[in-house]
Amino acid sequence: MNRTSPRQPSPAPARPVVAVLAPLASIILPGIGQALAGAWRRGLLLLVSLATILGLLAWRVRIVGRREEDITGMVRKAFDLQPILLVVAIGAALIYLWIILDAYLAARRLRGANSVGLWALILAVYFALGWQIGDINLVTLATQSRDAAPFMERILWPWEAAVHHEEVLLVGRAEIRIPCSGTPPAPIEPAEGQPSLVAEPSCGELSAQEGAPGTTLTITGRGFAPNTETEIWWMDELRNEFRQRQAGEYVKVTTDAQGSFQLDIIIPYRLIPPAEASAYSTWQLMARQVAAVGPAEPSETLLLAIEKMIETIFLGMMATLFGIILSIPVSFLAARNLMSGSKLTLVVYYLTRTILNIIRSIEPLIWAVIAIIVVGLGPFAGIVALTVHSIAALGKLYSEAIESIDPGPIEAIQATGANWLQTIVFGVVPQVVPPFVSFTIYRWDINVRMSTVIGLVGGGGIGFLLIQWIHLLDYRAAGIAVWFISITVAILDFVSSEIRRRFV
Amino acid sequence: MLDVRHLTKVYPDGTVALKDVSFQVPDGEFLVIIGLSGSGKSTLLRCINRLIDPTEGEIVWDGVDLAQLKGEELRMARRHIGMVFQQFNLVKRSKVVTNVLAGRLGYTPSWRSLVGRFAAEDLELARQAMSRLGITPQAQKRADELSGGQQQRVGIARALMQAPKIILADEPVASLDPVLAHSILSHLERLNQEDQISILCSLHYLDLVQRYATSVIGLREGRLVYRGTRDDIRRMTDGQFKEIYGEEAERAGGLVGELAPASGGAQ
């Protein structure tokens, strides 16, 4: 038996001159040595690799080290700010040296030439460059994700925004005489259904501008809605309303389970125009809260999201319908087995295929932008965009289904004396219907999913709503939209795979 | 009487599949065609019902040259020529009964077949054909749920639906094991004997040839190299068989004579 070892085709043994010249050549221009030693393809590849690495490195150094005058400063700044560039530079140097070594080994026909290690190193340097170019910053990811938690929480569990209660304003009032003199005002008897507020004492001095604090009042509220945030407001003698601030913050208190609270506040500073100043005045202290009463009902947000979700599903359905209708005739033109009859039909075949490929390679999102220019914002633009893309995608899938039919049954049906139409109905249709159905359902699934994205650029449906809510920073509403999209897509996924499993 | 005269087929790529082949098949004959793969057996059979157009020659059947027929005439002629295939060529996703009824398409107007409504007589014919081939219990199953032997019987039932005067069988048992081969061939033999349908069948195994053929022709590289009667074949030894056939010839199994035609339903 012959033992054949895998060896590169090396017809002539290396001449000794080449053995010396090769590494020298690679010192001047990396890769030339390999070319001299016969492996010119490898040499070229190495040269291109190293040149690309150096080019990319220079570009990144220039960007990171900009605003430095000289090159040394630029390089130092770049390496300082982005140490990974230093790693890349060292890698490039190693590759350079390795190429020289490789040229020597190749020229001498020694083992170790064309080592996997060299290619691995080149690849590693590319990835290091990719890390830098991609601006990857794991520290940011780790530290800032905590700050984003409140927003994430709203998106992940947005359902508070899905219910709505009728709201009432509850206000407890107390009168405060400023300054104290005579009989302090008695607590106000609250109106029917309104809470009561009692201040103790019910008179006092304002805070001074220079910092002497005013009188501390202990206020007690009763009959408020339980566990609800309550704001403290004042109305001065000029009937101007303002909120109580303490240490720069608005004062807020949350009522207990019985709807009561107790709180100490300091009478604030207030500049009263001299013309209006009087010896005594009566201010009003108010505790206000917005309380939810009545049963929970679906919120505006929820209803809107449901509406738009339905719009989205139908948008996908209509696009699929138009896609099917238009792609079936196209698919016959794009089926090679049907179109290889003559030169003319073959030209039609190639033309159809090319157009389909071009249309398919343009994302539905871009088609939507184009469609909006033509038909304006709204669901119709989305339908047009998805239809165009569906025709291309389904046309290709259908035509491949037609191409893969078994010619045997067709031959057999023809042999019975059946005519052309009968052959199609009995021989071709039963073979292509299951794949057609399968592809169609798959496409419907894709179209509904895509229609959520189409909305982002104004193509109607829930995507439009979602992007608006995100821009308004209404993360709860956005969260509801995201939930609806995920639920719909999950259901659709299940349904479509189920139908396909049963049908095919 | 089928009279094939000087039949030649050259494919567009230059392959000469048949070269000046002439032979006769008297009515009621069970003619077996032997020959290696690529010797032209399939091409010969497909030329007769014009699934392939011959390059030269005549195929005269009942005074009509099949090689010259076109369009409607060809369709009418095809109705009386059944065909059975090595790969059965059933529409796999259709029901067995639909596949059998497809044999009737040549007699059915287009609009009827479009809506899938066959005449009551056709349904009755299908019932009889399926019962004759023992596939009645499978009538409502999808064709691809059936075993190979059952599928080939559906294929024969489809051919039988055409009320054929001749059946072309292109290696009908090459995809089946020896026991099934006997079962299928004895079905064909019964059609041959009971309905006087001529059978043209290509086969590989000498013992099957000896058991079923009433006459034999041998093809090699597109040429007719052997012609023999029933008695010629009975006397033929393995050595002679290999001589016309090549080294790949072999016997299907020692079943000759053990399996009576009546037990054809076995599988």
For residues A156-177, give the mean pLDDT.
Answer: 86
The percent of residues above 70 in pLDDT, for chain B, comes to: 90
Fold of the CATH domain A165-297? Immunoglobulin-like (2.60.40)
Domain spans in chain A, listed from the N-terminal domain onward: 16-136, 165-297, 300-503
B90–A409 C-beta distance less than 8 A:
yes
Give chain A positions within 8 Å (CB) of B78.
414-417
The percent of residues above 90 in pLDDT, for chain B, comes to: 13
Which residue, among A405, A406, A416, A425, would best test binding to B if mutated, counting the most B CBs under 10 Å from its CB?
A416
For the domain spanning B1-80+167-267, the CATH number is 3.40.50.300
Give chain B positions within 8 Å (CB) of A419.
75, 105, 110
B110–A421 C-beta distance less than 8 A:
yes
Give chain A positions within 8 Å (CB) of B51.
411, 414-415
pLDDT tens sequence across A283-335: 888 888 888 777 888 888 999 999 999 999 999 999 999 999 999 889 888 88
pLDDT tier, A113 (very low <50, low <70, confident <90, very high otherwise)? confident
Interchain contact A417–B (C-beta under 8 A): yes
Phi and psi angles of residue A377, each rounded to the nearest 5 degrees, phi first: -60, 155
Domain spans in chain B, listed from the N-terminal domain onward: 1-80+167-267, 88-163
User: Which of A409, A415, A422 has its CB closest to that of B113?
Assistant: A422
SS3 state of residue A68: coil
The percent of residues above 70 in pLDDT, for chain A, comes to: 96
Interchain contact A431–B (C-beta under 8 A): yes
Average pLDDT, rounded, for chain A: 86
Residue of A nearest to B76 (CA): A417
Question: Above 60 in pLDDT, residue B153?
Answer: yes
Average pLDDT, rounded, for chain B: 83
A434–B90 C-beta distance less than 8 A:
no
Question: Above 50 in pLDDT, residue A2?
Answer: no
User: Which of A408, A413, A433 has its CB closest to that of B102?
Assistant: A413
pLDDT tens sequence across B93-113: 888 999 999 998 888 888 888
Question: Above 90 in pLDDT, residue A271?
Answer: no
Phi and psi angles of residue A191, each rounded to the nearest 5 degrees, phi first: -70, 170
Range in A6-10, B116-120, B150-154 the model is least confident about: A6-10
- Specify the pLDDT at position A368: 92
In angstroms, the separation between the Cα of residue A413 and the nearest Cα of chain B is 7
Helix segments in A259-378, DSSP class H: 300-333, 336-339, 343-361, 364-375
**In this predicted complex, what is the ipTM?**
0.85
Question: Above 70 in pLDDT, residue B249?
Answer: no
What is the spatial distance between Cα A489 and Cα B14, in angstroms, rounded to a whole number?
56
Are the C-beta atoms of B223 and B19 separated by less than 8 Å? yes
Are the C-beta atoms of A386 and A450 separated by less than 8 Å? yes
- Specify the pLDDT at position A16: 66
For the domain spanning A300-503, the CATH number is 1.10.3720.10
pLDDT tens sequence across A430-455: 888 888 888 888 888 888 888 888 88
Which residue, among B49, B75, B105, B114, would best test binding to A if mutated, counting the most A CBs under 10 Å from its CB?
B105
Give chain B positions within 8 Å (CB) of A414.
51, 78
pLDDT tens sequence across A362-413: 989 999 999 999 999 989 999 999 999 999 999 999 999 988 888 899 889 9
Question: Above 50 in pLDDT, residue B267?
Answer: no
User: Which of B76, B87, B88 has its CB closest to that of A417?
Assistant: B76
For residues A161-185, give the mean pLDDT.
Answer: 84
Residue of A nearest to B75 (CA): A417
Are the C-beta atoms of A42 and A103 separated by less than 8 Å? no
In angstroms, the separation between the Cα of residue A437 and the nearest Cα of chain B is 14
E-assigned strands of A119-256? 163-178, 196-200, 216-222, 229-235, 241-243, 245-246, 249-250, 252-254
- Specify the pLDDT at position B166: 92
pTM: 0.63
Q: Using alpha carbons only, give the angle A422, B195, B90 rounded to the nearest 5 degrees.
A: 35
